[in-house]
Amino acid sequence: MPAAGFVHLHNHSEYSLLDGAIRVKDLAETAKAMGMSAVALTDHGNLFGAIPFYRAAVEAGVKPILGMETYVAEGGMRERSRTPGQTHNDHLTLLVRDEEGYRNLIKLTSLAYLEGFYYRPRVDLEALAAHRGGLVAMSGCLQGGVARLLLAGRLDEARELAARLASVFEPGCFYLEIQNHGIPEEAALRPLLAELAAGTGIPLVATNDCHYLRAEDHVAHDVLLCLQTGKEIDDPARVMRSHPETYFKSPEQMAALFPEYPEALAATLEIAEKCSFTLPEGRSQLPRFPLPEGCESAAGYLERLVMENLPKRVAHVTDEVLERARYELSVIERMEFEGYFLVVWDIVNAARERGIPVGAGRGSAAGSLVCYALGITAINPLEHGLLFERMLNPERVSMPDIDVDFCDERRQEVIEHVIAKYGKDNVCQIITFGRLAARAVLRDVGRVLKVPYADVDRLTKMIPPQVGTTLSKALQAVPELDALYKKDETVKKLIDLSFALEGLARHASTHAAGMVITPTRLVDHVPLFRSNKGEITTQYEMKILEKLGILKIDVLGLKTLSQIHNTVALVAEHEGVRIDVDKIPFDDPAVYELLRRGQTVGVFQLESSGMRDLLRRIEPTNFGDVTAINALYRPGPLGSDMVSDFIECKHGRKKIEYEDPRLEPILAETYGVILYQEQVMRIASDLAGFTLGEADKLRRAMAKKDQKEMDRKRQAFVEGATTRGLSRKKAIKIFDLINFFAGYGFNKSHSAAYAVISIQTAFLKAHHPAAFMAASMTCDMANTDRLVVLLDECRSLGVAVRPPDVNSGGVGFGLSGGEITYGLAAIKNVGVQAIEAVLEARRRGPFTDLFDFCERVDLRQANRRVIESLIQSGAMDCLPGTRAEKTASLDRMLSRASRRQGERERGQGFLGFLEGGESRTVPLDAAPDWDDATRLHRERESLGFYFSGHPLDRWNDVLGGLLSVSSRTLGGKRDREAVVCAALVGEQRVIMDRKGNPMAFVTVEDLHGTFEVIVFSDCYQKRRAKLQQDSLVVVAGKVAMKDRGEVKIIADEIYTIEEAVQILARRVHLTIRGETFGERELERMKEIMARHPGTREVVFHVRENGRERGAVRARMAKVSPRVELLRELETIGGVEHVEISR
């Protein structure tokens, strides 16, 4: 295609958030397809998309022109007032000519966000003049300053501003921008701009304010603007609307729009010719690590640290160990990453010196002996077959990636150290973009189009929830969704518009862990952004920063490290045992007994119901098994035969077969299954002669499914393997084998590092269960559902948890006499500050009564709501009086106590005592005690769950024979298995199904936790009256296994307790104590049964001297099982237990 006589210089991509709808790859490819030699990106005020656009344009074969449409504050960028004459933020289009211009544009956008932000990121003429070098400027759209003044008839001011802008920028680098979108104001403006150009010599340039790619995308762009403004598309009051001409027009279309201004079209080529910026990539921009005196190089200092620490970390520093260390150091030095390793070491070392717990490592860093020697990781890579090349490949230059976990409670201290060490101008966090994923975009577009919520909800629920699912994939995978798309016009319109917007950036936020450190000021290297929370971040995402050679480190907060730290502290305080977590053995028998039982609630990475089931099936016996389990419990392996092969071969039920004897030492640890990426690399190295660097490239190609690269690697593998004794046929077979498994392969280094923490938590739980559970509950004090699970686990472990108590409890959960004391800050409406005030007052002795508590505790920290929650939770049961009496008396107590506290502050307390003031003991008001239901209800309100009792308690024994599942055992059931459970109804979400009928998702609670019951419309419409909140029900239904291990129950029938007893019970069982059950008791039993005649069997279980003598069925006595019958039978002397069964 011949070169076009026009290029687009004013384009807004998706990074003009919720304003532009152009994907940068599509922008570049469309420009190329239209014959344009170059294309620019000018997003609103930012450079978010600059680098992705640059790469897409280079790949498409067009010149990328980086730019930005900036806002120029008329009254100065630091002016925040709304006074007349200072309200304009004039648009100005900036383009990068060269590297100096790129650096200046970085500084301008950073200034706009950090210093000039006021509704918009703004600069001013002074800032533009200071950073003008290497930039081309265009006067902007209708909202530009020159255009605004011309349209207002202020011609002299417009001429003056144009001349000033021309002088601000370098000679020949300012243009007057003309546009033609069919807007009347533009038609009036064009001759005025032409006249101004003729009078000043400032050239014209023609642009189109492109916000979407094709004319047919106009409606989709309009929907996007509705998302930005929160409006519906048919809202007549809507101000911001998409214009039908702001799309990416062809050069021919642009020429037709500007027949009178051919020089303005030609100017686009002139500007494109001026712009010749090449992005500087591949240059390392690592900070200089401050070296101690006597060290001449970072490489030398790193080597010294490694060699000094190796003997402390490795018991026997053999020649093999030294050779590996020296090899790694040589690679690090050759790739010039020694500074990176020193920075990470310094951060980890500083944390350890401050007593901040540090993780065992994560990702591929665990494969480095240098990292192990420096204490960055906690696993010896030589002992576990971990590869350094998986982390740092000497044959593929890319930044190393060392992510570190720190105790979540003290992560901020680590960040503060980094800022203090390297300077606040050199350290910041990293931006990330929320995107319009498949489900989210359907919901957003549905709202804008006013599609009924129930219809949209039904469609979104058809989309598989897996990460990476797109609308296109969903249509292929879900026939029902595809059928609706093809036959329902509303659905088709909704999905088509969603297609157009799917994946676009929706908002900017801060990455949870990523930080960058630059050698000089950040703005010398990357553009900066300030979030609406005030956090300063890069404008470039993490992957871009890595490609630019900027040091990135993930400083992650891991709650498990707080859990471990708190456990160790409790054990030291209450058991007098000092535990060094780093020295916990990997072969402790008690650990593996715990894991084989699947008793892993609270154990890192191993506590989901699916994982517990896998543990029971695998029955791990060593650290390698735990490493493998972490790698196996993922969708890929779980959906293949890998798990069953692993289990069958481990237990000897299936013979392990190797295609070549050389595979055995590589695959023996995983029982012949290729599970790890490192195994793929070892096979390529040992069988085909690949270097480990080449093997890492092979692994990456397999993971990316790069067919061209795979064909090249296949040939190299086969050639290498055949020269090492394999037949061509066998070589191809092994290559295909590793290619298959490479898609499922996991990073062994990461799995092994996390297995260390799994073993540490399992060890603490196995040997110190009370301390471990107390620490676990402290870490989850704010999560009610989690506390319920942990309390249930305490019951299963036989660990007693005392009720909350203001005279013995602390902020978090603690220990006393081998029992757990309840954490007072876990009580709702209380908080840490209030409990700290309670503890401060308690230092002077235990509280004696309610008034004593109110008088001594600072009521500014512990107000009425706090104290009422303490009463209702049972935390004040240690003080005289009932909960009802304390609640009734609280206002009077607070009034008197508040007066006393005020007197003390004014120094009048002692005078009041001398004058015979009020008695320190204030009697409680009389009040009727709460019944059990009220007490439990209020206790649940304050704790978030039932603690001292549960409404199901009185039924659990009776119903035991009817029930087949609880929240504790639900995860171990098979999909579609029939089950019966008893539970308390909680919150429910009612929606309309595809036929417009109501159905519900009901959260229910039993003695062990909560789970969800799905009630489809047929059942819901018949049984909805029984689903009142806090009602007790029995649910008969089927297990529904959901993605990500979530397990629910689909209800077939819902009963009240009374109905369940009467309908489901087939037998009534009575356990009788033979020593005390005589003729009199027998007659009473007959009398009761006679009043409840029916068809159900009665079975007697006779016990004498604590032993059951046998079960006897009553041939003649058959009953109708009703609640009244069961309760009456329980009152007979000698009857130990009454139960029903199916």
Per-residue pLDDT tens for 821-857?
A: 999 999 999 999 999 999 999 999 999 999 999 999 9
* b/e sequence 1110-1131, b meaning 16+ C-beta within 10 Å: eeeebeeeebbbbbebbebbee
- Give 63's pLDDT tier (boundaries 50, 70, 90): very high
CA distance 618 to 603: 17
CA distance 527 to 536: 10
Q: 10 Å Cβ neighbour count for 463?
A: 20
Final residue of a structural domain among 1029, 1060, 1091: 1060
The answer to whether residues 687 and 630 belong to one domain is yes
635 vs 686, more confident: 686
Calculate ∠ Cα 434-248-503, nearest 5°.
20
Strand partners, 1119: 1093
Over residues 64-86, mean pLDDT: 82
Which residues, in sequence order, are CB contacts of 359 under 8 Å at separation 6+?
Answer: 378, 404, 405, 406, 556, 558, 561, 753, 757
pLDDT at residue 70, rounded to an integer: 97
CA distance 474 to 457: 15
Q: 10 Å Cβ neighbour count for 390?
A: 26
The answer to whether residues 809 and 882 belong to one domain is yes
- Give 1126's pLDDT tier (boundaries 50, 70, 90): confident
Does residue 282 form part of some domain? no
Distances (CA, A) of 444 to 15, 20, 314, 498, 504: 18, 16, 56, 9, 12
CA distance 770 to 273: 73
CA distance 935 to 1077: 36
The helix or strand, by DSSP H or E, that contains position 184, with its residue range, turns out to be helix 184-200
Per-residue pLDDT tens for 408-455?
A: 999 999 999 999 999 999 999 999 999 999 999 999 999 999 998 888
Place of tokens 């740092």: 392
CA distance 1010 to 783: 13
Does residue 667 form part of some domain? yes
Does residue 130 have a pLDDT over 80? yes
Question: In what side-by-side order are the strands of the sheet with 551-558?
Answer: 404-407, 551-558, 505-517, 427-435, 536-538, 528-530
Burial label, 661 (beta-carbon count in 10 A; 0-12, 13-18, 19+)? exposed
On whether the CB atoms of residues 226 and 449 are closer than 8 A, the answer is no
The answer to whether residues 312 and 265 belong to one domain is no
Q: Of 385, 287, 270, 272, which is closest to residue 336 (Cα–Cα)?
A: 287
pLDDT at residue 2, rounded to an integer: 53
Does residue 715 form part of some domain? yes
Which residues, in sequence order, are CB contacts of 73 under 8 Å at separation 6+?
Answer: 79, 86, 88, 89, 116, 118, 122, 123, 124
Per-residue pLDDT tens for 176-202?
A: 999 999 999 999 999 999 999 999 999
Distances (CA, A) of 1038 to 459, 970, 1048: 24, 11, 8
Final residue of a structural domain among 1005, 1039, 1060: 1060
- For 547-550, the CB contacts below 8 A with 24+ separation are 547/51, 547/281, 548/51, 548/281, 548/285, 549/281, 549/282, 549/283, 549/284, 549/285, 549/286, 549/399, 550/285, 550/516, 550/518, 550/525, 550/526
Domain region containing 331: 298-421+547-559
Q: Of 755, 785, 543, which is closest to residue 632 (Cα–Cα)?
A: 755
Does residue 912 have a pLDDT over 50? no
Q: Three-state SS for 529? A: strand
- Give 1045's pLDDT tier (boundaries 50, 70, 90): low
Does residue 471 form part of some domain? no
The answer to whether residues 858 and 938 belong to one domain is yes
The answer to whether residues 162 and 28 belong to one domain is yes
Does residue 243 form part of some domain? no
For the record, the structure tokens of 392 come out as 């740092």
CA distance 662 to 644: 24
What count of Cα atoms within 13 Å lies in the side-chain half-sphere of residue 485?
21
Q: Of 302, 310, 299, which is closest to residue 381 (Cα–Cα)?
A: 310
Per-residue pLDDT tens for 547-565?
A: 898 999 999 999 999 999 9
Does residue 86 have a pLDDT over 60? no
Over residues 205-234, mean pLDDT: 95
Amino acid letter, 317: V
Question: DSSP state, 23?
Answer: -
Strand partners, 199: none
The answer to whether residues 208 and 149 belong to one domain is yes
Does residue 976 form part of some domain? yes
Question: DSSP state, 354?
Answer: T
* b/e sequence 1001-1032, b meaning 16+ C-beta within 10 Å: ebbbbbbbbbbbbbbebebbeebeebbeeebb
Does residue 102 have a pLDDT over 60? yes
pLDDT at residue 478, rounded to an integer: 86
Alpha helix locations (H) across 555-691? 559-575, 589-597, 609-618, 623-632, 635-638, 642-650, 664-667, 677-688
- Give 770's pLDDT tier (boundaries 50, 70, 90): very high
Q: Of 634, 604, 614, which is closest to residue 745 (Cα–Cα)?
A: 634
Calculate ∠ Cα 238-244-247, nearest 5°.
120
CATH number of the domain within which 995 lies: 2.40.50.140
Helices 728-742 and 677-688: angle between axes, nearest 10 degrees: 160
Does residue 114 have a pLDDT over 90? yes
DSSP assignments along 1040-1106, one per residue: EE-GGG-EEEEEEEEEEHHHHHHHH--EEEEEEETTT--HHHHHHHHHHHHTSEEEEEEEEEEEETT
Per-residue pLDDT tens for 1067-1086?
A: 888 888 888 888 888 889 88
CA distance 375 to 313: 8
Return the minimum-mean-pLDDT range out of 40-49, 392-401, 710-719.
392-401
Does residue 909 have a pLDDT over 70? no
Per-residue pLDDT tens for 475-507?
A: 988 888 999 999 999 999 999 999 999 999 999
pLDDT at residue 3, rounded to an integer: 64
Distance from CA of residue 1024 to its chain's centroid?
A: 35
The answer to whether residues 648 and 675 belong to one domain is yes
Q: Of 517, 551, 509, 514, which is closest to residue 533 (Cα–Cα)?
A: 509
Strand partners, 1071: 1101, 1137
pLDDT at residue 1044, rounded to an integer: 54
- Give 916's pLDDT tier (boundaries 50, 70, 90): very low
Does residue 715 have a pLDDT over 60? yes
Instruction: Using a pLDDT cut of 90, give the percent of the chain over it.
Output: 71
Strand partners, 434: 507
On whether the CB atoms of residues 896 and 922 are closer than 8 A, the answer is yes
Per-residue pLDDT tens for 644-700?
A: 999 999 999 999 999 999 999 999 999 999 999 999 999 999 999 999 989 888 888
Mean pLDDT of the chain, nearest integer: 91
Does residue 564 form part of some domain? no
The answer to whether residues 554 and 650 belong to one domain is no
Burial label, 1053 (beta-carbon count in 10 A; 0-12, 13-18, 19+)? middle
Alpha helix locations (H) across 925-1056? 932-943, 953-959, 1017-1023
Strand partners, 1107: 1104
The answer to whether residues 654 and 677 belong to one domain is yes
Does residue 443 form part of some domain? no
On whether the CB atoms of residues 1053 and 1036 are closer than 8 A, the answer is yes
Which residues, in sequence order, are CB contacts of 640 under 8 Å at separation 6+?
Answer: 744
Strand partners, 1048: 1040
- Give 1004's pLDDT tier (boundaries 50, 70, 90): very high
On whether the CB atoms of residues 272 and 37 are closer than 8 A, the answer is yes
The answer to whether residues 999 and 935 belong to one domain is no
Q: Three-state SS for 434? A: strand
Per-residue pLDDT tens for 287-337?
A: 889 999 888 899 999 999 999 999 999 999 999 999 999 999 999 999 999
Strand partners, 95: 67, 136
| Total number of domains in the chain | 6
pLDDT at residue 239, rounded to an integer: 82
Question: DSSP state, 212?
Answer: B
- Please give the torsion angle defined by the CA atoms of residues 235, 237, 240 and 241, in that order, rounded to the nearest 10 degrees: 50
Final residue of a structural domain among 727, 761, 795: 761
Q: Of 494, 487, 492, which is closest to residue 456 (Cα–Cα)?
A: 494
CA distance 529 to 6: 33
On whether the CB atoms of residues 874 and 884 are closer than 8 A, the answer is no
The answer to whether residues 1092 and 1134 belong to one domain is yes
Question: DSSP state, 861?
Answer: T
Q: Three-state SS for 884? A: helix
The answer to whether residues 67 and 186 belong to one domain is yes
CA distance 429 to 537: 5
